[in-house]
């Protein structure tokens, strides 16, 4: 005797993995992330050059501003990328289940929209956050810039010995470069997981919006923020303090290139 067909219960973890696999197989996610990182670099470079044109001579302040604008650009570019992939492959990412089934699978206690919101929301089922912690910010004033005679807004460090000053400056430049390119390389390596999770959250939000149930989710911005804010903060702190320190070791220069030229390269020649 044949039994009537019953669709299996919605599996959130299986759908998350399916979304990631579809995106990985259809798009070059690491290539896409490389382009995003390159545009973030360009945004931070324009920030530092623009501030320099506005006579902001403090390297630390310029690098802090570049870190903030670069991180903001990262989110803006990811939103543009999400629009692109959902336009190209949106139908392949939507789960074959009714919106209410998806909502109830995420939160069995989700209340209908007509029900008043309780003072304390019911516990939401924990969702896994996969993906490496990575941040993307850039301080692109390393290779380009102009040296000036006007004093910058850094603190003054009195270091005895010209060779010690040169070594410290080289160490600061190496540290900034290592953190910068290390973070960029790591986020590119983790692109399939990071972009896949962001796309999953965006599609999930669109499904839940059609449900009659009220389910609380952080969304794709919460997913990306949770994965990247710590390394982004570390990068911003290292770049800002490194800028102040380099300018303090070599007063009178307002770019990192000027610091290297006058206090490292020219000093070696003298």
Distance of CA 184 to the CA centre of its chain: 9
Contact 77, 39 (CB under 8 A): yes
**What is the domain partition of the chain in residue ranges?**
12-114+149-269
CA 245 to chain centre: 25
Cα–Cα separations (whole angstroms), residue 161 to 74, 149, 166, 183: 42, 22, 9, 33
pLDDT value at residue 8:
54
Task: Specify the pLDDT at position 120.
Answer: 52
Q: Kind and range of the H or E element at 172?
A: helix 162-189
Could you state, in chain order, the average pLDDT of each consecutive group of 10 residues for the chain (270 residues)? Answer: 49 82 89 95 96 95 96 96 86 72 69 54 45 41 41 44 84 94 90 90 82 76 88 92 93 91 74
Q: pLDDT value at position 71?
A: 96
CB 24 within 8 A of CB 192: yes
Q: Residue 250 has which token pair?
A: 């070599």
Torsion of CA 61, 137, 232, 256, to 10 degrees: -40
Is 247 in contact with 253 (CB distance < 8 Å)? yes
- What local confidence, expressed as pLDDT, does residue 144 receive? 38
What is the reported pLDDT for 127? 44
The DSSP code for 264 is I
CB 143, CB 48: distance < 8 Å: no
């Amino acid at each position: 005797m044949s039994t009537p067909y019953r669709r299996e219960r919605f599996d959130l973890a299986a759908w998350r993995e399916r979304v990631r696999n579809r995106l990985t197989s259809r798009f070059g996610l690491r290539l896409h992330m490389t382009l995003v990182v390159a545009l973030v670099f360009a945004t931070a470079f324009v920030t530092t050059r623009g501030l320099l044109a506005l006579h902001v001579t403090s390297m630390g302040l310029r690098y802090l501003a570049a870190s903030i604008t670069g991180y903001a650009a990262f989110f803006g570019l990811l939103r543009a990328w999400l629009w692109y992939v959902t336009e190209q492959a949106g139908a392949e990412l939507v789960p074959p289940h009714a919106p209410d089934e998806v909502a109830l699978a995420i939160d069995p206690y989700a209340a209908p929209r007509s029900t008043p919101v309780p003072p304390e929301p019911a516990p939401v089922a924990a969702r896994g956050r996969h993906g490496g912690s990575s941040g993307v910010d850039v301080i692109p004033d390393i290779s380009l810039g102009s040296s000036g005679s006007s004093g910058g807004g850094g603190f003054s460090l009195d270091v005895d010995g010209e060779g010690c000053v040169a070594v410290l400056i080289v160490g600061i430049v190496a540290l900034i470069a290592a953190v910068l390119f290390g973070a960029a390389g790591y986020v590119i390596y983790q692109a399939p997981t990071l972009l896949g999770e962001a796309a999953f959250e965006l599609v999930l939000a669109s499904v839940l919006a059609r449900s009659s149930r009220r389910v609380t989710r952080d969304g794709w911005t919460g997913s990306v923020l949770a994965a990247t804010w710590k390394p982004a903060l570390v990068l911003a702190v290292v770049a800002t303090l490194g800028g102040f320190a380099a300018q303090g070791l070599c007063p009178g220069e307002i770019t990192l290139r000027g610091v290297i030229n006058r206090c490292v390269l020219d000093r070696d020649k003298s």
